[in-house]
Amino acid sequence: MFATVIPAIRTPRTVGGFDYVIPADQTVGVGDLVQIPFRNVVKVGIVHSIQEDPPKGIPKCKELLGRYADLRMRPQSLQLLEALAKRSFCSLPSVLHAWLGQLPKKPETIQASKPVTGTQMTSETRFDADPETALLRDVMVLSKSPLRILIIVPWAGRASRIATQLNASVLTSQSAMGARFKAWSTFVQGASNVLVTTRLGAWLSTEADIVLLNEPENDDHKQDELSPRFDARWITEAAQQFGIPVRQYGTTPPLRTFTNPTLPTRIPTLEPDLIGIDIHRADWSDIPGLQNRTVIEIERAIKAKRPISMIHPIHGDRAALRCSDCSWQASCSRCGASLHLQQQKLLCKRCNQHDTMSPVCPVCRGTDLSKSRPGRERMESALARYKPAPIQIHSIGSWNTAKIPEKGLIVLSDLSLFVGSTEDLRKQEQRIIHGRRLATEALRTQSTLVVQADSSLLTAYKSWLKTEGCELAMREELKERALFRLPPAWRLVKIIIRGNEGHVKRQKSLLEQRLQPNDPFILNGPYEVQHVPNSRAQRFILHLSAPQGTPLKTIEYVLEPLMRTDVLLDLDPIAFFE
């Protein structure tokens, strides 16, 4: 007997499986993890198929070394492996390598539990004012049965917190090799029936009896830095097609949901204890970045001994080094971006360049270089007067993973900067989603929410918290996307090409030869990726756009000339920059 095995290694996208002889004294089935000899080393792979006849053209095949940890994957996992390799334009071995990660050489064999059969669970999409509590409530009910429950959340911090609450296993990028293997292997074997993970463990969806997805609207479910590039939300959708029930718990439907005339569920109205403060009033306090009304709320909370959580988007001491006399502003010597002052050093947040700080303005020789918005360092220094009051200051990234204290005060210093200062064309959608999530956090923790913003933005924000206002804003955003031919109204393929400009133009011409005059495709670029680290080669990006209903096979035909090159192809890009 012969087995075709997919090894867990990085390979070019054209590589598939390798054939091995099954020793007479071994019993191996499709889906088994096995150890194989591969180029003088021992690797782990998964059995893709078994056949009686020897493979043609291969005179002598090596023998399998045996099963690995007595692990067997479901047939649906092989289906998902093939589907994800096709979706991410990567080889089967590369996708399997991303799934399994680094494996122990001498794994512990775990006794498999009897698999659950005949479950009558149904898929469901639910948007709630407190989705995390709704998810935990369902887990408490489901965990009383022998079902294997996979919980997928957007961040490692939240995964650890939920796992602690449920006394469950956790699988994140922060897990060490041994802990990571134990977490997913015991789940596959059924020795543990609840596993909390991030996008890292989304591939286990087909090994679960039910999948619970937290915040489907959150783009942090997308692996957008490494290859293969995949989206945990797409993986759960694929698992659902393979018969695995999936329940989604969110607050705001993703924009692609609004491509349908009717929504699958009602958008919840959020009613937190909200105080909106106009940031453009001439009523600034002596604490940089805060209006007097905001400081009054902080002092009330301190007097009542309530914890305070502040979200301030600006890094360092101040947003920029700017002269109060002539408005000269320090810029990065490498990329020209505005510099942040952080710990008395100038730092470029775009390219990570460090510059020395000038004590005087090089234009007018002025010494007051503080005409700029304050950063967290300066705000923290000013708030030190209230010590030992419990005041936490978060960035727009860290507040998502931090544990916000209950029955406290949450302060957002500037709603306009809540999703960053980068000119992402999806900024409005993200502002709606993040703003509603902040309101959800205030409701969950029973906290008062203070938001500083422009008066018109405050009015819009309050409307986003309501059912009708949120739907109207999202549908308006969808119309604008359609006008500019952007997802989800159109399909967009991001093509990342390594090499110089001449090489990129040659690759682009190969694509143009595939496009016919009447084709609906639009090819834009190349756009050079700016400020890449010295360790990376020069990169350029092409955008291939097509109407939403364009079949994947048609797109694959156009991209076929690039399939044998080392370009990165992404069918699910999550950011579109001007």
Contacts of 461 (CB under 8 A, 6+ apart): 276, 415, 435, 451, 453
pLDDT at 563: 83
Contact status, residue 378 vs residue 318, Cβ threshold 8 Å: yes
Residues of the chain with pLDDT under 50: 578
Q: What are 115's two structure tokens?
A: 């698999």
pLDDT at 422: 54
Contact status, residue 481 vs residue 488, Cβ threshold 8 Å: yes
Burial environment of residue 574 by CB neighbours within 10 A (0 to 12, 13 to 18, 19 or more) = middle
Give strand pairing partners of 449.
274, 410
What single-letter amino acid sits at 470? Answer: C
pLDDT at 578: 42
| Virtual torsion, Cα 461, 462, 466, 468, nearest 10 deg | -70
Sheet of strand 41-51, all strands in order from the earlier edge strand to the far edge: 18-21, 2-7, 41-51, 32-38, 66-72
pTM here is 0.89
CB neighbourhood size of 176 (10 A): 9
Question: 177 vs 44, 181, 290, CA distance in Å?
Answer: 15, 6, 45
pLDDT at 240: 94
Give strand pairing partners of 308.
391, 409
SS3 assignment for 213-273: EECCCCHHHECCCCCCCCEHHHHHHHHHHCCCCEEEEECCCCHHHHHCCCCCCCCCCCCCE
Q: How far apart are CA 360 and CA 367, in angstroms?
A: 5
CB neighbourhood size of 40 (10 A): 5
Q: How far apart are CA 542 and CA 494, in angstroms?
A: 6
SS3 assignment for 180-226: HHHHHHHHHHCCCCEEEECHHHHHHHHHCCEEEEECCCCHHHECCCC
pLDDT at 233: 94
The rounded Cα 499 to chain-centroid distance in angstroms is 27
Contact status, residue 80 vs residue 41, Cβ threshold 8 Å: no
For β-strands 409-412 and 448-453, DSSP reports them as parallel
Q: What are 375's two structure tokens?
A: 């950063």
How many residues make up the chain in this entry? Answer: 578
Given phi > 0 = left and psi -120 to 50 = alpha, else beta, which region is 123?
Answer: beta
Contact status, residue 415 vs residue 452, Cβ threshold 8 Å: yes
Identify the structural domains of the chain with CATH numbers, from first to last: 2-100 (3.40.1440.60), 124-250 (3.40.50.300), 273-479 (no CATH), 490-570 (3.30.70.141)
Give strand pairing partners of 66.
35
Round the CA-based radius of gyration of the chain to a whole number and report it: 27
pLDDT at 420: 64
